[in-house]
Amino acid sequence: MNAIYLKKLKWSGLHFLLGLVFLSAVGFYIYTQWFYAGRHYLTDLIGLAGIILSIDLILGPMLCFWLLSPVKTRKENIINLSLIVFLQLSSLSYGVVQINSQRLAYIIKWQTSYFAISKSDAREGYISEGFYLFNEPDVGTNDRLLYDKLINQSIPPIEMNEFFEPTDFETECKTICGVITKNGIVNVTKINGVITFNKSLR
Protein backbone atom coordinates (compact mmCIF):
# COMPACT_ATOMS: atom_id res chain seq x y z
CA MET A 1 0.00 0.00 0.00
CA ASN A 2 2.83 2.41 0.90
CA ALA A 3 4.47 1.67 -2.45
CA ILE A 4 1.27 2.73 -4.24
CA TYR A 5 1.10 6.05 -2.38
CA LEU A 6 4.80 6.69 -2.93
CA LYS A 7 4.31 6.14 -6.66
CA LYS A 8 1.29 8.48 -6.70
CA LEU A 9 3.30 11.12 -4.81
CA LYS A 10 6.15 10.75 -7.30
CA TRP A 11 3.82 11.25 -10.26
CA SER A 12 2.14 14.22 -8.55
CA GLY A 13 5.53 15.79 -7.81
CA LEU A 14 6.65 15.32 -11.40
CA HIS A 15 3.37 16.80 -12.62
CA PHE A 16 3.90 19.81 -10.31
CA LEU A 17 7.44 20.41 -11.58
CA LEU A 18 6.44 20.15 -15.24
CA GLY A 19 3.48 22.46 -14.60
CA LEU A 20 5.73 24.95 -12.81
CA VAL A 21 8.18 25.06 -15.72
CA PHE A 22 5.40 25.43 -18.33
CA LEU A 23 3.51 28.10 -16.38
CA SER A 24 6.74 29.98 -15.69
CA ALA A 25 7.48 30.08 -19.42
CA VAL A 26 3.94 31.31 -20.20
CA GLY A 27 4.15 33.88 -17.40
CA PHE A 28 7.53 35.14 -18.60
CA TYR A 29 6.20 35.60 -22.13
CA ILE A 30 3.07 37.44 -20.94
CA TYR A 31 5.05 39.70 -18.62
CA THR A 32 7.73 40.64 -21.15
CA GLN A 33 5.46 40.94 -24.21
CA TRP A 34 2.16 42.26 -22.83
CA PHE A 35 3.15 44.13 -19.65
CA TYR A 36 6.60 45.44 -20.50
CA ALA A 37 7.90 48.87 -19.42
CA GLY A 38 5.84 48.96 -16.24
CA ARG A 39 2.45 48.18 -17.78
CA HIS A 40 1.76 45.81 -14.88
CA TYR A 41 1.30 48.92 -12.71
CA LEU A 42 -1.89 49.71 -14.64
CA THR A 43 -3.75 46.69 -13.28
CA ASP A 44 -3.64 44.07 -10.55
CA LEU A 45 -1.64 41.67 -12.70
CA ILE A 46 0.23 40.08 -9.80
CA GLY A 47 -2.95 39.20 -7.92
CA LEU A 48 -4.69 37.83 -11.02
CA ALA A 49 -1.66 35.82 -12.12
CA GLY A 50 -1.21 34.49 -8.58
CA ILE A 51 -4.75 33.11 -8.51
CA ILE A 52 -4.37 31.47 -11.92
CA LEU A 53 -0.97 29.96 -11.11
CA SER A 54 -2.08 28.65 -7.74
CA ILE A 55 -5.18 27.02 -9.22
CA ASP A 56 -3.23 25.30 -11.98
CA LEU A 57 -0.30 24.30 -9.77
CA ILE A 58 -2.58 22.88 -7.07
CA LEU A 59 -5.34 21.45 -9.26
CA GLY A 60 -3.09 19.35 -11.51
CA PRO A 61 -1.06 17.52 -8.85
CA MET A 62 -4.15 16.94 -6.69
CA LEU A 63 -6.06 15.38 -9.59
CA CYS A 64 -2.94 13.44 -10.54
CA PHE A 65 -2.69 11.97 -7.02
CA TRP A 66 -6.40 11.19 -6.96
CA LEU A 67 -6.93 9.76 -10.46
CA LEU A 68 -3.62 8.12 -11.38
CA SER A 69 -2.56 4.85 -9.79
CA PRO A 70 -0.03 2.10 -10.52
CA VAL A 71 -2.77 -0.48 -9.92
CA LYS A 72 -4.82 0.90 -12.82
CA THR A 73 -4.23 -0.13 -16.41
CA ARG A 74 -2.04 1.95 -18.70
CA LYS A 75 -5.12 2.88 -20.73
CA GLU A 76 -7.00 4.09 -17.65
CA ASN A 77 -4.05 6.23 -16.54
CA ILE A 78 -3.64 7.75 -20.00
CA ILE A 79 -7.34 8.63 -20.14
CA ASN A 80 -7.23 10.17 -16.66
CA LEU A 81 -4.03 12.07 -17.42
CA SER A 82 -5.56 13.41 -20.64
CA LEU A 83 -8.56 14.63 -18.64
CA ILE A 84 -6.29 16.36 -16.12
CA VAL A 85 -4.27 18.08 -18.86
CA PHE A 86 -7.47 19.16 -20.62
CA LEU A 87 -8.85 20.70 -17.42
CA GLN A 88 -5.58 22.49 -16.73
CA LEU A 89 -5.28 23.85 -20.26
CA SER A 90 -8.90 25.03 -20.13
CA SER A 91 -8.24 26.79 -16.83
CA LEU A 92 -5.04 28.34 -18.17
CA SER A 93 -6.76 29.49 -21.38
CA TYR A 94 -9.48 31.20 -19.37
CA GLY A 95 -6.84 32.84 -17.21
CA VAL A 96 -4.87 34.09 -20.22
CA VAL A 97 -8.07 35.59 -21.66
CA GLN A 98 -8.68 37.40 -18.36
CA ILE A 99 -5.09 38.68 -18.24
CA ASN A 100 -5.31 39.79 -21.87
CA SER A 101 -8.40 41.85 -21.02
CA GLN A 102 -6.30 43.84 -18.52
CA ARG A 103 -3.78 45.01 -21.12
CA LEU A 104 -3.55 48.71 -21.91
CA ALA A 105 -5.87 49.76 -24.74
CA TYR A 106 -5.19 53.50 -24.81
CA ILE A 107 -4.68 56.64 -22.73
CA ILE A 108 -7.38 59.28 -23.07
CA LYS A 109 -7.36 62.88 -21.90
CA TRP A 110 -10.80 63.97 -20.70
CA GLN A 111 -11.14 67.49 -19.36
CA THR A 112 -7.79 67.93 -17.57
CA SER A 113 -7.07 64.33 -16.55
CA TYR A 114 -5.51 61.33 -18.28
CA PHE A 115 -7.07 57.88 -17.97
CA ALA A 116 -5.45 54.52 -18.78
CA ILE A 117 -8.17 52.31 -20.26
CA SER A 118 -7.80 48.53 -20.31
CA LYS A 119 -9.00 46.33 -23.16
CA SER A 120 -11.85 45.05 -20.99
CA ASP A 121 -13.16 48.61 -20.55
CA ALA A 122 -12.65 49.74 -24.14
CA ARG A 123 -15.67 49.63 -26.42
CA GLU A 124 -15.89 47.72 -29.69
CA GLY A 125 -13.67 48.81 -32.54
CA TYR A 126 -9.89 48.62 -32.67
CA ILE A 127 -7.90 51.58 -31.40
CA SER A 128 -4.14 51.25 -31.32
CA GLU A 129 -2.32 51.89 -28.05
CA GLY A 130 -1.46 55.55 -27.65
CA PHE A 131 -2.60 58.95 -26.45
CA TYR A 132 -5.96 60.42 -27.45
CA LEU A 133 -7.98 63.53 -26.68
CA PHE A 134 -11.71 63.47 -26.07
CA ASN A 135 -13.28 66.06 -28.36
CA GLU A 136 -16.75 66.74 -26.98
CA PRO A 137 -19.12 67.64 -29.85
CA ASP A 138 -20.81 71.05 -29.87
CA VAL A 139 -24.43 71.40 -28.84
CA GLY A 140 -26.82 71.30 -31.79
CA THR A 141 -24.59 69.21 -34.07
CA ASN A 142 -25.31 65.72 -35.39
CA ASP A 143 -22.38 64.40 -33.38
CA ARG A 144 -23.99 65.83 -30.25
CA LEU A 145 -27.04 63.68 -30.84
CA LEU A 146 -24.80 60.60 -30.89
CA TYR A 147 -23.01 61.85 -27.78
CA ASP A 148 -26.30 62.30 -25.90
CA LYS A 149 -27.43 58.84 -27.02
CA LEU A 150 -24.24 57.26 -25.67
CA ILE A 151 -24.59 59.17 -22.40
CA ASN A 152 -28.13 57.80 -22.06
CA GLN A 153 -26.67 54.32 -22.54
CA SER A 154 -24.39 54.99 -19.54
CA ILE A 155 -21.24 55.02 -21.69
CA PRO A 156 -18.68 57.42 -20.20
CA PRO A 157 -16.79 59.90 -22.40
CA ILE A 158 -13.50 58.05 -21.83
CA GLU A 159 -14.98 55.13 -23.81
CA MET A 160 -16.54 57.16 -26.64
CA ASN A 161 -13.93 56.38 -29.27
CA GLU A 162 -16.13 58.09 -31.90
CA PHE A 163 -14.89 61.42 -30.56
CA PHE A 164 -11.22 60.59 -29.95
CA GLU A 165 -8.44 62.58 -31.61
CA PRO A 166 -4.93 61.09 -31.76
CA THR A 167 -2.17 62.95 -29.96
CA ASP A 168 1.19 61.85 -28.52
CA PHE A 169 3.28 61.73 -25.38
CA GLU A 170 5.48 64.67 -26.34
CA THR A 171 2.49 66.95 -26.88
CA GLU A 172 0.62 65.92 -23.75
CA CYS A 173 3.28 65.14 -21.17
CA LYS A 174 6.54 66.72 -22.32
CA THR A 175 8.63 64.68 -19.84
CA ILE A 176 6.20 63.08 -17.38
CA CYS A 177 2.52 63.04 -16.42
CA GLY A 178 0.20 61.02 -14.23
CA VAL A 179 -2.56 58.76 -15.52
CA ILE A 180 -5.54 57.54 -13.53
CA THR A 181 -5.86 53.75 -13.33
CA LYS A 182 -7.88 51.28 -11.27
CA ASN A 183 -4.83 51.06 -9.00
CA GLY A 184 -4.47 54.81 -8.50
CA ILE A 185 -2.16 57.34 -10.14
CA VAL A 186 0.66 55.96 -12.29
CA ASN A 187 3.40 58.14 -13.79
CA VAL A 188 4.13 57.83 -17.49
CA THR A 189 7.42 58.81 -19.09
CA LYS A 190 9.23 58.01 -22.32
CA ILE A 191 12.53 56.17 -22.03
CA ASN A 192 14.53 55.37 -25.17
CA GLY A 193 11.41 55.91 -27.28
CA VAL A 194 9.25 53.53 -25.21
CA ILE A 195 6.27 54.70 -23.16
CA THR A 196 7.14 53.59 -19.62
CA PHE A 197 4.99 53.49 -16.47
CA ASN A 198 6.12 53.90 -12.86
CA LYS A 199 4.13 53.78 -9.66
CA SER A 200 3.41 57.26 -8.37
CA LEU A 201 4.57 58.11 -4.85
CA ARG A 202 1.54 60.32 -4.31
Q: What is the phi/psi pair of residue 167, to 5°?
A: -140, -165
For residue 46, the SS3 value is helix
pLDDT over 70 at 1, yes or no: no
**Percent of the chain, pLDDT > 90?**
50
For residue 185, the SS3 value is strand
Cα separation of 137 and 142, whole Å? 9
Closest of 130, 113, 134, 109 to residue 190, by C-alpha: 130
**Percent of the chain, pLDDT > 70?**
98
* Cα four-point dihedral sign 151, 153, 155, 160: negative
pLDDT tens profile 137-174:
988 888 999 999 999 999 999 999 999 999 999 999 98
- CA dist 166 to 76, 104, 111, 130, 134, Å? 59, 16, 15, 8, 9
User: Residues 77, 4: contact at Cβ < 8 Å?
Assistant: no
pLDDT band at 46 (very low <50, low <70, confident <90, very high): confident
The pLDDT of 100-125, averaged and rounded, is 91
Q: Please tell me the predicted confidence (pLDDT) of residue 124.
A: 78
Q: Which helix (H) or strand (E) holds 133?
A: strand 131-134
The pLDDT of 102-131, averaged and rounded, is 90
Pairing of strands 184-191, 104-110: unpaired
Going edge to edge, which strands form the sheet with 164-167? Answer: 164-167, 131-134, 104-110, 113-118, 176-181, 184-191, 194-199
pLDDT tens profile 57-79:
888 888 888 888 888 888 998 99
pLDDT tens profile 2-16:
888 888 889 899 989
Q: Please tell me the predicted confidence (pLDDT) of residue 200.
A: 64
Q: What is the mean pLDDT of the chain?
A: 89
Torsion angle of C-alpha atoms 91, 93, 99, 102, degrees rounded to 10: -120
pLDDT over 70 at 202, yes or no: no
User: Residues 18, 10: contact at Cβ < 8 Å?
Assistant: no
pLDDT over 60 at 201, yes or no: no
Q: Please tell me the predicted confidence (pLDDT) of residue 49.
A: 80
For residue 138, the SS3 value is coil
Q: Cα 76 vs. chain centroid, distance in angstroms?
A: 37
Q: Please tell me the predicted confidence (pLDDT) of residue 154.
A: 93
**Can you give the pTM of this predicted structure?**
0.83
How open is the CA angle 110-111-115, to the nearest 5 degrees? 35
Pairing of strands 194-199, 184-191: antiparallel
